[in-house]
Each structure stands twice: as structure tokens, then as C-alpha cells.
Structure 1
Amino acid sequence: MTLFFPDAVSQLNFASRPRFNIKRHDNWNYKIQDNELPNYQLRAKNTPKDLGVDDVTQYSGYLDVEDEDKHFFFWFFESRNDPKNDPIILWLNGGPGCSSLTGLFFELGPSSIDSKIKPIRNPTSWNSNASVIFLDQPVNVGYSYSSSSISNTVAAGKDVYAFLQLFFKQFPQYSELPFHIAGESYAGHYIPQFAAEILEHTERNFNLSSVMIGNGLTDPLTQYNYYEPMACGEGSGADSVLEPAECEGMLDTLPRCLSLIESCYESGSAFACVPATIYCNNGQIGPYQKTGRNVYDIRKMCEGSSLCYKGLEYIDTYLNQADVKEKLGVEVDTYESCNFDVNRNFVFAGDWMKPYFKKVTELLDGGLPVLIYAGDKDFICNWLGNQAWTNSLPWSGADSFQASKVKSWAVDGKEAGKVKNSDIFTFMRVYGGGHMVPYDQPESSLALVNTWISGDYSFGTNKS
């Protein structure tokens, strides 16, 4: 989940709030270090199944970076199918600053949380045919904590690599299996950088097989062209949600917005990138937000929590229960689904508008399969913008991809979206999905991930 930005400079805070009231646990089943990663340690425990989230083998714990006082929480679920042979998926939510446990309980994990604050089994969980790791990163997100902070995607990537290296060293039974990274929203920044970081380490002990990005922010210079069309009726399949004058206002501010993003791309400096973020978000996203509509689903009004979904409040309540935290080995006294201070750190480090699509070029040219999928009812990282940047992406197979035809994708005999593929690069439009495709279209989402991890990158559309 999600992508958000400060409404005004007066709201900004230049440091993430440190976590107080830390209670360190000693009852870990596993502790491991590596001489190649001298500052890192992984602590893990066998997570009790009586939590009722799933009946598969589970591990939870922390990656520690002791000299920097950073502690990243993770929760792992084995596949319900064939854990000895099924792939591994690392899931990352966005924000920046939002917990991946949102993905676990609201989107694609083994259970959701109902209004009675009880886990309800999810039959379309992504661990139906894969083992899944949910990682709270960067620090001070979810159950992760630190007295310091991280404010850019590059720094976060180094810690994620260390986590994976130690995880697969501790649990070598998974290290030879195909491994995929998936995520959404600001993970459109995270995943290209994290995957590039991983591929730099030829000594790694796991097999990175592909990446999947859902409704991501990856190429702002291209994507910011498509807020006005999406809000004003051209991409949503519905009438405009704004008045004509508001649509004209978005178009009037767009040229300066794009010029500022270009300056950010050229310099990479916070002095160029921060003004682009504030000006463009106020001009291109602000008018839509003022309507009170859900930025993650253009069909809905915002309700419940500040992130527009009542169900997220149930998750917060569940994860703040003392017995849940104790059984997971949690060391913070409070869980928050999103930390807005972390978000502001990234904004004011200039990270928001940087061109992480260049890392996607590197991944593809290095032979790593890449899936970009987008629910077509999302506003904040809408399908029009994602379609556009994939079409314009420079890589060795760009000509072939641009020439490829858009084809229908069906799930259980019913058209569920459109797909465009060439070799190892695929763009998928998912009908009826908002920002969180697994939440809105659970059957389509499970079919999507199962097909992709099986190695069918064209989703059956290239079969004769």
C-alpha cells in the first residue's frame, strides 16, 4: 500500500520519529551472522500457529544492524502447496513508510482481519503456490525500529540485500528455489534499486528470478502526464470527477511540473527534486484529493482511516494486541500501518521524483524478467502512466516491445485484463483493480502471480 505526500510545508518534519519503549526479546530459535556482513545479524523464531493466521510453517524476527541501531521485522509463511519446491516471494509495500503487514492482512496474505479483530482465512493468498516473506522496511515502519532513519531508496536496498543473504543462510532449504521480489506503489522505486543491488553481488546465496511491480511510481516524468486524463474521464471508464476548470488548471500547471522533474532527473539533487515533488503533487494530485475521493480507487469516496479504508483500522488493532506481539517476538510497543515521518524524510531527500526506471533498463538488459501490472481504477499510480512508461522504456528489446500487440487476458474463461509482452518484459492492465489489485481482484491477482512465477511471461497470449 500506498503513496502519499504532505499537503503543506508546515506539516513537514525532517526526522523520523524514533521508537521508544523497546523491549528486546531473548527467546529466539535462530541467530545467525556472516563474516561477509559483519554488522548484521538475523534473529528468528518459530511463529506459533495458534495465532490462527495460517497452519503452515512460519518464521518471524528481526534483521539487526547493531552499529546503526536498525532492526527490520519480517514474517515468513511457507507455501500451502509444495514448500520444498515452490518459489519464494518477497513482498514490499510502499508509501514510502508503510508496513508490508498491510499487504499481508489487507491484500495477499493468508488471512484478513475482520471487524471482530479475528483472522479470516484467505483462499486466494499468494502463498497458495509460493512461500512469501513480508518485510517491514525501511526502519521505523510497522514493527521495525531504529533511533536513526533512512531517507533514500539506495540505502534501503543495502539492508534488504543483507536480510536476504542471512535469511537464506539460516534457512538453506529455500536458497535453491526461484526467488521473486514483488510490491506496489513506492515499491516502483524500491524494487528496481533493490534488484540491481542484489545482482551486483555475484556471491549471493539465492536465485533472483524476476521482479513484479503493481501500480508503481517508477518514471515520474512520464507518469505525471496522466493524472489529468485519469481524473477527467479519459482513463477510468467513467465520467470526470473534476469540474472542467479544475481539469484545465491541472493542464496549466503541467508544463512547469514536467520541467521541474526534468531538472531533478538531470541533477539528482534534493535542491531540484524537492521542489518538483511539492509543486507537481499539489498541482496534479491535489485537485483530486480535495474532492474527498479515494486516491487508490476512483470509484469510491475516502472512508475510515487516513488511508481511506476502514479495514486498515482492524489490522492496526490486531497487530497492537499484546499476545500477538509476544508470539511474533515484536520489540516495539506500538504498531502503525504507515509512518508519515519516514515519508517526509524520503520527500526531502529528493527521492520521490528520481528516475528509477533506469534501473529497470539495467535489469532487463541483464536478463531479469520484469512484470509491471496496474489495476485500472487506481488514480495515484494509474494504469495510463504505467502503460506509457513501459512503452517508452529504453532497453535492448524496446523495439520489439513497442511493436507487440495488446492482447486479452482471461481468468476462468472471463476477460480480466489486457497484456502486452515481448520476451521477458510484460505490462498488464487488470480490470477492476484499484491501487491494491489483490484486494480488489483477488482471483485475478492470484492467477497473475501464479502464471508469472510459472515462467509464462506472456500469460498464455503467445501460444499458437
Structure 2
Amino acid sequence: MYYAYFEAEHPYPNKETAPIILWLQGGPGCSSLFGLFYLNGPFQLQVDMTLRDNPGKWSRQYGMLFLDQPIGTGFSIAGEQAIPREELSLAGDLYRALQAFYTSHAQYQDRPLFITGESYAGKYVPSISHFIVQAQAIADGTAHLLKKPRALPADVEPPVFKLGGLAIGNGFTDAVEQTLVQAEVAYNMGLIDSRQRQQAEAIQTDVVELARNKQWTAARKRSDELLAFITNASATPTLEDIRRDKGYDAEDRVGSYLNMPAVKANMNAPKDIVYEACSKVVDGIMGHDVMKSVANLIPDLLERSHVLLYQGQFDAECGVASNEAWISKLAWPGHSGFSETERWFWRDAEYGQAVLGYVKSHKKLTHVVIRNAGHMVPHDRPVVSQKMIETWIESTKAEGDSDFAPEAAQQAQRYVAAAQQAATAAV
């Protein structure tokens, strides 16, 4: 598996304990290096194929790890090993890769890992997080307390690192529940009229029936037809952000850049691989698994870790209502408390009285809606997404259950400002 690691620009609270963020792209089969150059990495790739500093980089005070998975994705070589066909095998491969990373870099083992990603990573992130939690529970002798144990390998080793939490942006986590609101979302966003809504609802009924009958490949095909119907009926370039006149990175800037021989050499990437932002081969192999839900893994994670679910408000594919559909049905001890919690406006002094988003937080679950953003929040609102992830990670460090609270990150932000000022003075 190919990875790229970037140390924090201003490690907080220090280099020995600053968390590390793992970023996973969706797909299935999309490369995490896309996120590195287009979303939340240290750089922003320009039209002229040059790099400039990303003001919204998530590596400002935390380390960032970008890892292409499953094998066959991006620069990760499949070789003679079969590309995983389902989530558990995929999580097993990724777990071994993480174990190898932390073993090879033992100095990072006291730095908690926060697993993050977007879109189809709404399945990747819970799956690998649950694998880590279960591996630790087996080592602790508490595996019997898990509500949804899976068949892990008998020789699985305990993690040599600590899971700090998990965050999913505009995720596709529960296919059935999210499909059931697809037509309603499109109608309420003005993409289709009432007659077209009825047509879309008929298609989504087919999708749900196929999924409930475990006809997974047919369900995925019909789901794609549902999205295509809404797209064609509305002449929308992309449902991922209904404001856009073309899709994200429609010109494949990232792919062009990563196929430059000099770039491959600088990144120590396999020179013979033709880089694709999203692998059609991996998507074809994993396609039958797309419509299977992993929402049932979340309650175990909420018992043992912190979970952030965030969405940009203009995503008509995996947006706010789509995710609230399954969040509202989560069976966990904090269900009632979370449901009854008032949503509040998120403001930041840097933006005056402007509302950056809406937050709902109870115990270990936080839900954030980012205003003026679509499917790819870190691309659309770089600095806001940076503030969000830093605020949330700092809030998880409090003793016991903790809510998302902007003041939890203020000390860290003051630290970064002071470090930047000191660096400038030194120059």
C-alpha cells in the first residue's frame, strides 16, 4: 500500500503527542492522494500544475497520513494478491498497513489516530475503526461486550496505536435509509417536479427492494440509474454540489499531475503505474458490496470512541437529509439525548457574526452541517473545515464524554498563532 505522510506544521500540543489524521477517499476505488492535492493536504494544486500552500490544511497542527486503499487504488499495487471484495477483508488489509506504519515509525505510537474520509469512505471509516476496536477488545478480553462483532482473523494482533476518533464527510453509510430520501431531497432542492418525484420514488422503491432481498449487484445498478434519472431530469452537472457548473476536478488535474514522471520520482511512487483518481477495476470488484450498510457498527464505536459526521448543505447525493435519515435511527444509549438536543449556530470570531454551520452534539456523537459547501467540504470551505476538525479533535481530549465546543480549540489556535509569530521573528 502506498502512503504519504506529512508532519504537522505546528504540532499541538507537541511533536510527541500531536494526533495523526488518516484520510481515506471514497469510490470504491478512489485514491486518497486526490484528497492530498485537492482537499485538505498541505498543498493546493493549481491550473498551471504548480503547488501553493493550502490555508485550510488539516496538517496545520496534526500529522496527516494519506493512504491509497484498497490495493489496486492509486499507487497501491495489487500484484498477485486479490483485490478485496468486501469491507471486512478491506479493513483487514488496511489494519495491517496501519500496524506496519506505526511499527516502522515507533515514535508515533503515543499519537492517537483519527480516521477520516468522505463519500464512500462513509463505509471505509466505520469498518476499519470497528476492526481496530474489536482487535483491542480481543486483547483486553472485552470482545463479548461488542454488539456487532465480526469474524476477525484468529491471529489478529492488538493495535500498536490508539484510536482517537473517526470523522465522515458527506458519507454513504446506510444505502437503504439514504436511498429512501433521494427523491425527496431532489424535489425539495428544486431539481425535479412532483411528477418526476413520483418517477424517482418508483426507482428508489426498486433499489430498496433489491437491497432488502440481498440482490446487491442489481441494487447498485438500479441506484446508479436513480441518480442518473435525477441528474438528467434536472440537467445538473453534478448532484455532489447543485451550485456547480461542472463536477469536482472535471479536468482531472490531480490525475495529470500525478502521472508526471518527475512528480512520481519525487513521491517515490511506482513509475510504471498509470495513476487514476478512481479505479474502474476496484469499483467493478467492490460494486456488489456498495449497497450493504455499515451503520450497525456505529453503536460499538460510540461506546468506545468519538464520532463526527459532517456534511456540506448543497450536496444532493450524500448530504444532510441523506445522513440524518440513518443517524436518526441509530440504536445507541445516547439516542434520546441526541434527538432532543437543540442544534446551534456555529460562529467564529474570524468571520464576525456569519454562521459557518450548524452543530448538534451529545456524548460522543457530533453532527455538523457546513454552510456554503457541497460534497467536498474541505475543498469548498478550506479554512472552515480546518477549524471544524481542529475544534472537534480538541474537544475529544476532555475527560469523559464531551461536546463539540469552539472554546476547546481556542487554546490550540493561540498556540499555532504564537508559533507562526515566533517562526516569522526567527526568519
Cα distance per residue 1:432-456 (max 9 Å; x no partner): 1111100001121001100111025
Q: Does 1:216 align with 2:175?
A: no
Cα distance per residue 1:186-233 (max 9 Å; x no partner): 11111111011112223211110100000001111211122212222x
Cα distance per residue 1:324-382 (max 9 Å; x no partner): 211222124221111112112111xx3111120011122113x2111111111112211
2:95 matched to which residue of 1?
A: 161
2:75 partner SS: coil
Aligned letter for 1:139? I
Cα distance per residue 1:120-170 (max 9 Å; x no partner): 111210000110000001111111122332222211111111111111111
Distance 2:271 2:26 in 1: 21
Aligned letter for 2:104? Q
Q: Does 1:140 align with 2:72?
A: yes
Q: Does 1:150 align with 2:84?
A: yes
Aligned letter for 2:63? S
What is the Cα deviation at residue 243 of structure 1?
Answer: 4.0
Aligned letter for 1:197? F
Structure 2 residue corresponding to 1:289, chosen from 195, 217, 231: 231
Aligned letter for 2:36? L
The 5 A counterparts of 1:168-317 are: 168-202=102-136, 203-232=158-187, 234=188, 236=189, 240-264=190-214, 272-283=215-226, 285-290=227-232, 291-302=235-246, 308-310=248-250, 313-317=252-256
What is the Cα deviation at residue 410 of structure 1?
Answer: 1.6
**Any conservation in 2 of the 1:409–1:459 contact (CA below 8 Å)?**
no
Any gaps of 5 or more consecutive residues in structure 2?
137-157, 397-401, 409-427
Any gaps of 5 or more consecutive residues in structure 1?
1-71, 265-271
Q: Does 1:114 align with 2:114?
A: no
Distance 2:27 2:53 in 1: 26
**Any conservation in 1 of the 2:102–2:109 contact (CA below 8 Å)?**
yes
1:337 matched to which residue of 2?
A: 277
1:81 matched to which residue of 2?
A: 10
**Alignment identity in percent?**
30
**Any conservation in 1 of the 2:29–2:69 contact (CA below 8 Å)?**
yes
Structure 1 residue corresponding to 2:34, chosen from 90, 95, 102: 102
**Any conservation in 1 of the 2:182–2:204 contact (CA below 8 Å)?**
no
What is the Cα deviation at residue 292 of structure 1?
Answer: 4.3
**Any conservation in 1 of the 2:392–2:405 contact (CA below 8 Å)?**
no
Structure 2 residue corresponding to 1:429, chosen from 369, 387, 399: 369
1:19 matched to which residue of 2?
A: none
What is the Cα deviation at residue 428 of structure 1?
Answer: 1.1
Structure 1 residue corresponding to 2:336, chosen from 355, 380, 399: 399
1:325 matched to which residue of 2?
A: 264
**Any conservation in 2 of the 1:254–1:280 contact (CA below 8 Å)?**
yes
**Any conservation in 1 of the 2:129–2:301 contact (CA below 8 Å)?**
yes
Q: Which segments of structure 1 move beyond 4 Å, counting only runs of 4 or more? A: none
1:352 matched to which residue of 2?
A: 290
Distance 1:79 1:221 in 2: 39
Distance 1:227 1:462 in 2: 36
Aligned letter for 2:217? V
The 5 A counterparts of 1:50-69 are: none
Distance 1:243 1:399 in 2: 35
Distance 2:88 2:335 in 1: 26
Counting matched residue pairs gives 371
Relative to structure 2, which stretch is displaced further, 240-249 or 166-175? 240-249
Cα distance per residue 1:291-339 (max 9 Å; x no partner): 2421211112335xxxx424x6222222111122112221242211111
Relative to structure 2, which stretch is displaced further, 104-113 or 382-391? 382-391
What is the Cα deviation at residue 461 of structure 1?
Answer: 7.7
Aligned letter for 2:228? G
**TM-score, length-normalised on structure 1?**
0.76
2:391 partner SS: helix
What is the Cα deviation at residue 261 of structure 1?
Answer: 2.6
Distance 2:77 2:259 in 1: 15
What is the Cα deviation at residue 185 of structure 1?
Answer: 0.6
**Any conservation in 1 of the 2:334–2:362 contact (CA below 8 Å)?**
yes
**Any conservation in 2 of the 1:183–1:212 contact (CA below 8 Å)?**
yes
1:460 matched to which residue of 2?
A: 405
**Any conservation in 2 of the 1:97–1:141 contact (CA below 8 Å)?**
yes
**TM-score, length-normalised on structure 2?**
0.83
1:443 matched to which residue of 2?
A: 383
2:306 matched to which residue of 1?
A: 369
Distance 1:442 1:222 in 2: 29
Change (3 A) 1:158 1:136: same
Aligned letter for 1:81? H
